[in-house]
């Protein structure tokens, strides 16, 4: 008996980290949507057969969404609503849903309510789990329950547990429409992959140099910056820099050097002041993409800063694939 096709919709798709994970697990894309132009350029370059909507999620009416679905039984809606409204600095006791910055979360809920997928997967920053002493987490869970998802659970996952050479903790919400038990992927790596494992075979380049590998172009650092970084040892930090030229900053994520024998620190949209473990430069977009587990065949478009944001904002594809495979097992079991 031929396996049933499994379909997903990708909201806030960005450059396509979740997309790639679900594709590798065998799901088929119905449509994706994102509003950032350069992110969309990258998405279309790498997923030319997908239906990508360039625009804000608010711009699609219920009729528009149903027309895009075109009668398909969508198995999963996935996405990571932008997390600016999830700041830990908010007043304790203020309801999450009352914060206007969180309107994009409400849009995610709106799409799920309209599409009625068998499952949804929502990803966000780990601090959301404990925000407002856990009341934000409860609000989110109860919101999905109120639209018909009988079983909704959330868990903090570390990408390093799934073969990603990076310590990246994210909260994952998974909901099932028929109350089916929620199963998260079991960690498959006890010995973590390191930064050197991920990028050690790429061509050696110095500050300002290019290579023949797509997106492997080194940032052109100033003489002053190069002078600072040459003092920082493998795995070291700003304290390695002589006091007379040491930057006066309290940000522990700046002026550090990757530890070649450990997973990377969390990749964000700006890694300019985190240095290669061996070369005096920041990592290239290709190296950051390797750490996020994008294949070298995946090409990023746009300015250098936009490319870094695209990589940093992504769900690591290998972690997304682990989640997708677990949901696929539950869906296949449902159809037997």
pLDDT of residue 133: 87
Q: What's the CATH code of the domain at 104?
A: 3.40.50.150
Rounded Cα–Cα distance for residues 28 and 301 (Å): 24
Kindly list the catalytic residues: 83
The tens digit of pLDDT for each residue in 43-79 reads 999 999 999 999 999 999 999 999 999 989 999 999 9
CB atoms within 10 A of CB 223: 7
In a domain, 100, yes or no: yes
Q: Looking at residues 157-166, what average pLDDT do you find?
A: 98
What one-character DSSP code corresponds to residue 12?
S
In a domain, 98, yes or no: yes
In a domain, 44, yes or no: yes
Range scoring the smallest mean pLDDT among 86-95, 266-275, 299-308: 86-95
What pLDDT band is residue 162 in, cutting at 50, 70 and 90? very high
What is the Cα 122 distance to its own chain's centre? 11
Token pair recorded at residue 241: 């820099």
In a domain, 53, yes or no: yes
Over 60: is that where the pLDDT of 244 sits?
A: yes
Over 70: is that where the pLDDT of 2 sits?
A: no
Whether residue 137 contacts residue 129, with contact meaning beta carbons closer than 8 Å, is answered with yes
* Residues of the domain holding 161: 7-189+315-335
What one-character DSSP code corresponds to residue 292?
T
As for how many domains the chain has, the answer is 1
In a domain, 120, yes or no: yes
Q: What's the half-sphere exposure (Cβ side, CA atoms, 13 Å) at 164?
A: 33
What is the Cα 200 distance to its own chain's centre? 23
pTM: 0.94
Rounded Cα–Cα distance for residues 45 and 52 (Å): 11
Over 90: is that where the pLDDT of 32 sits?
A: yes
Whether residue 320 contacts residue 17, with contact meaning beta carbons closer than 8 Å, is answered with yes
Which ranges of the chain does DSSP label H, i.e. alpha helix? 17-24, 37-46, 62-69, 103-115, 135-146, 195-199, 223-229, 285-291, 304-312, 317-335
**Residue linked to tokens 């009352």:** 98
In a domain, 252, yes or no: no
Chain-wide mean pLDDT for the chain? 93
In a domain, 184, yes or no: yes
Rounded Cα–Cα distance for residues 156 and 273 (Å): 27
What is the Cα 185 distance to its own chain's centre? 17
CA triple 12-107-173, angle to 5 deg: 70
In a domain, 211, yes or no: no
Rounded Cα–Cα distance for residues 293 and 316 (Å): 6
């Amino acid at each position: 008996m031929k396996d049933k096709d499994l379909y997903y919709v990708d909201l806030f798709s960005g450059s396509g980290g979740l997309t790639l994970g679900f594709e590798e697990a065998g799901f088929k894309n119905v449509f994706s949507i994102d509003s950032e132009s350069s992110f969309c350029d990258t998405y279309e370059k790498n997923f030319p057969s997908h239906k990508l909507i360039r625009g804000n999620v608010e711009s699609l009416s219920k009729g528009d969404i149903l027309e895009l679905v075109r009668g398909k039984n969508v198995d999963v809606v996935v996405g990571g609503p932008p997390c600016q409204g999830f700041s830990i600095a908010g007043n304790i006791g203020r309801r999450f849903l009352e914060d206007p910055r969180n309107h994009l979360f409400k849009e995610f809920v709106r799409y799920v309510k309209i599409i009625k997928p068998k499952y949804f997967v929502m990803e966000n920053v780990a601090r959301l789990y404990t925000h407002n002493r856990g009341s934000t987490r409860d609000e989110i869970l109860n919101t999905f329950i109120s639209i018909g998802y009988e079983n909704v659970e959330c868990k903090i996952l570390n990408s390093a547990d799934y073969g990603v050479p990076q310590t990246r903790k994210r909260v994952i919400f998974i909901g099932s429409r028929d109350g089916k038990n929620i199963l998260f992927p079991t960690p498959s790596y006890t010995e973590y992959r390191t930064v050197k494992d991920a990028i050690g075979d790429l061509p050696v380049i110095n500050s300002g140099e290019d290579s023949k590998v797509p997106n492997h172009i080194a940032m052109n650092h100033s003489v002053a910056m190069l002078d600072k970084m040459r003092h920082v040892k493998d795995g070291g930090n700003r304290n390695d820099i002589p006091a007379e030229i040491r930057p006066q900053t309290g940000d522990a994520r700046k002026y550090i050097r990757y530890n070649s024998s450990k997973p990377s620190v969390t990749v964000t949209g700006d890694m300019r002041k985190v240095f290669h473990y061996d070369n005096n430069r920041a990592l290239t977009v290709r190296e950051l993409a390797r750490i996020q587990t994008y294949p070298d065949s995946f090409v990023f478009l746009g300015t250098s800063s936009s490319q870094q944001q695209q990589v940093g904002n992504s769900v690591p594809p290998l972690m997304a694939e682990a989640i997708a495979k677990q949901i696929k097992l539950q869906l296949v079991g449902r159809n037997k």
